[in-house]
Amino acid sequence: MITFSYNIITESYYKGVKNMTLQEILNLRNMTQKTLAIKLKVTQPIVSFWCNSKRTPTFANMQKLAEVLEVDFQTIVKCFTKDNKEEE
């Protein structure tokens, strides 16, 4: 299942389909914000801010997000770019 969802994420990024939000990636991973927060050693409200585009994670946290969510770094960066926020 992880391989399948990774392929969906990778294909959507490279084909220029709407950039995925962090929450959409979490949903594909069947992961809650709380679970992600525990894995990243941050609070759940911080993850909520990231998912709702109220804050942007640090570079180090973006790297951790990519690792924990098993996506490439560019996919995470795309979650927080201005272009992605305007498409919503």
Q: What is the pLDDT of residues 16-44, one digit of tens each?
A: 445 789 999 999 999 999 999 999 999 99
Which pTM value belongs to this model? 0.75
Residues 6+ apart with CB under 8 A from 69: 25, 26, 29, 31, 36, 76
Distance of alpha carbon 22 from its chain centroid, rounded? 3
The reported pLDDT for the residue numbered 81 is: 86
What confidence tier does 1 reach under pLDDT thresholds 50, 70, 90? very low
Q: Please, what are the domains in the chain?
A: 2-87 (1.10.260.40)
Q: What distance in Å separates the CA atoms of residue 21 and residue 16, rounded to the nearest whole number? A: 14
**pLDDT above 90 coverage of the chain, percent:** 65
**Residue 11: CA count within 13 A, CB half-sphere:** 6
Q: What distance in Å separates the CA atoms of residue 75 and residue 80, rounded to the nearest whole number? A: 9
Look up residue 44 and give its amino acid. Q
